Structure 1
């Protein structure tokens, strides 16, 4: 006997039908509820599981890119430091080589300067020795003139020859005797020159302007000096008359 028959002798009334339908409906709903949430949860889980790898891959990729970028930056910094270190080492090496070359060049220049200085000192010493020897030879050869009229005339002739001034012993002696009688301190205080305030003086009686104009360098600038007086007068006579030899009177 079935369960339905046990309830009310095999007949289902209207209330029973509604109850059974309700139970069936509730059972279906329960079954549906039990299945759908399960399926929804599974789908959600599936979606979560499916999305999670995508989200993880993006984050991991970003982290990995950041790590790679950091690594490249660090490598670049390291490379730059190494390049700078190499450049600094090369610069130091170049500076060391340059310093060594300069030191070598300076030492060479100093040695050359020392050799040159020694050579110059030796040459200067030799020159001084040669000059002293020449002076000694010249002094040995230099004639000694007597401190008298003869000596004054002869010394004057030597100076005149050196300066290209013509004249002879005879011409000088003759004019000296006529002008001053051989007195180097002679002075004319009565002629026109004396009246003009420029008296004739010395062996050949020259006035101051004439003496100054025709004075021979190397002789004293003194009208009364015998040799200075003779050479200046002979120079003037050569300029005006061609030679002291051509003078036979006041000139």
Structure 2
């Protein structure tokens, strides 16, 4: 292209800011290279139709033709003016941020809070163990007395107790001796094993009734006395 024609083309071409910077930077490399680059830029830019930026933006959003261009052509030719969201923006808008995360129902939350967590260290209430029931007769009295004697460490057997009870009172818990020396002295022997009051008071076993003629209290007190004097009620074979 002759130099005059090139100068004429430069007068009609209005380069963008980017092209102006590029042209200034390339001036140092030689005027011929700069003019050739400017001519190429003029040709590529002039191939795009002149459009109104505001209309392109509006048309892009509405999806209609703008200045004779379809939406796809406008997007491709003028991506900076179409208002297309960036990849990051599109990713963020894919989620509906207007919806807050679902909250637990107040009733369910309150119920969960009210329930204490399981804990092995929680003090458990002791299980009540009912005492064994004994028959209200000679067999039951002897068996109950033996259980107490075992707990207190007092020796004696069923046969030893039963033998002495039959000899002393015939199994009558209210039997009273009113003729021996104790009776003469005013402290008669009483109960299943014929115990006087002073002996009962000294050898009474805690946990039994504090009453001389109570069957279990009388047996355990007499067995306790015999254990201290004879080693065991089993060793007693006569009056003691």
TM-score normalized by structure 2?
0.49
Larger Rg: 1
Whichever structure has more helix as a proportion of its residues is: 1
